[in-house]
């Protein structure tokens, strides 16, 4: 069955139908999906009621997968992996390892609050990410949308003077920068050593040929520039790139699988009553093992 691609926004994001991830996906189907993603940046695959194994199998078609890291409060207590046993699955929920809702004081909740900032998955890794795939298993009755920003369109719309100013700049990304900004999560020494940060070009060329900004709440410094100048510049660019004209807001339905290309988009979670309603979402992330192309 051929893929059908229905635009969801004037600039990017599309509903993609024609794949059933409960069965093996052929190489030709995978190639067609990549071609669609090169155009839309964010692909919504509805009614994909898949399990963890099926999600991992689909993600592996596109490259090596990230393994979820050790996080304080997770993975190191009896039964920690009772809900999610595949190490390639990242738990993007408000539940503990036994399926109980996290209390407001739980440090795991504080860690996840920074997901409400605009970010790009794994920009804090030197080997960053191509696709992220988020599967909606249980969703709250309202709110909890995810917003996406098209960084290609944002770059295209920048004034020429700004394009010239940022050409060739290199940015330092740290996950602890974003975690400290929202939620007040303080990593221990082991966590800092495991995820020390990374350097990436601010302006990149996507494999599709389009030029894109590469930004995130993890971006904390610009090489060769004082923080007093760098941080306002980064904030200005993020504010520009997240103007309403560049944003698609996805309203989740159970069974949705949303795939986004981290090389040309940012995203953020929106608030919901996470002390009352369960949100069970599971993410797989494909490592970007290809050479980064500077614009």
The rounded mean pLDDT for the chain is 91
pLDDT at 75: 45
For residue 204, give the H/E element and its range: strand 203-205
pLDDT digits (tens, 9 = 90+) for 146-170: 999 999 999 999 999 999 999 999 9
Both tokens of 287, joined, read: 């490592």
Q: Which residue has the higher pLDDT, 1 or 198?
A: 198
The predicted-structure confidence for 27-46, as pLDDT tens digits, reads as follows 999 999 999 999 999 999 99
Q: Which helix (DSSP H) or strand (DSSP E) does residue 213 occupy?
A: strand 211-213
- Report residue 289 as tokens: 């093992």
Chain-centre distance for alpha carbon 179: 15
Instruction: Pick 109 or 214 by higher pLDDT.
Output: 214
Domains in the chain, start-ordered, CATH in brackets? 4-287 (3.60.130.10)
Q: CB–CB of 2/33 below 8 Å?
A: no
Query: How confident is the model at residue 201, as a pLDDT?
Result: 98
The answer for residues whose C-beta is within 8 angstroms of residue 99's C-beta and 6 or more apart is 82, 83
Output the pLDDT for position 191.
81
DSSP 122-154: TTTSSS-EEEEEEEEEE--SS---EEEEEHHHH
What is the C-alpha to C-alpha distance for residues 154 and 243, in angstroms, rounded to an integer? 9
């Amino acid at each position: 069955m051929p893929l059908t691609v229905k635009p969801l926004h004037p600039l990017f994001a599309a509903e993609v139908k024609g794949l059933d991830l409960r069965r093996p996906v052929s190489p030709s189907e995978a190639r067609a999906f990549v071609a669609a993603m090169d155009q839309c940046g964010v692909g919504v695959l509805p009614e994909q009621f898949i399990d963890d194994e099926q999600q991992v199998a689909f993600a592996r078609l596109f490259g090596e997968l990230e393994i979820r890291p050790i996080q304080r409060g997770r993975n190191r207590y009896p039964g920690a992996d009772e809900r999610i046993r595949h190490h390639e699955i990242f738990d993007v929920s408000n539940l503990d390892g036994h399926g109980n809702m996290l209390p407001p004081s739980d440090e795991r909740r504080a860690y996840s609050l920074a997901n409400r900032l605009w970010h790009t998955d794994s920009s804090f890794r030197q080997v960053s990410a191509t696709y992220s795939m988020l599967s909606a298993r249980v969703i709250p009755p309202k709110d909890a949308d995810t917003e996406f920003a098209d960084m290609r369109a944002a770059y295209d719309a920048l004034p020429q003077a700004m394009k010239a100013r940022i050409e060739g700049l290199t940015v330092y990304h740290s996950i602890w920068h974003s975690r400290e900004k929202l939620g007040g999560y303080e990593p221990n020494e082991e966590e800092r050593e495991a995820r020390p940060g990374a350097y990436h070009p601010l302006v990149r060329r996507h494999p599709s040929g389009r030029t894109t900004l590469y930004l995130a709440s993890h971006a904390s410094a610009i090489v060769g520039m004082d923080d007093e100048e760098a941080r306002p510049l980064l904030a200005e660019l993020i504010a520009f790139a997240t103007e309403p004209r560049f944003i698609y807001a996805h309203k989740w339905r159970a069974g949705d699988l949303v795939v986004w290309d981290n090389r040309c988009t940012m995203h953020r979670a929106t608030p919901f009553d996470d002390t009352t309603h369960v949100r069970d979402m599971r993410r797989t992330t494909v490592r970007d093992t290809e050479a980064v192309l500077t614009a």
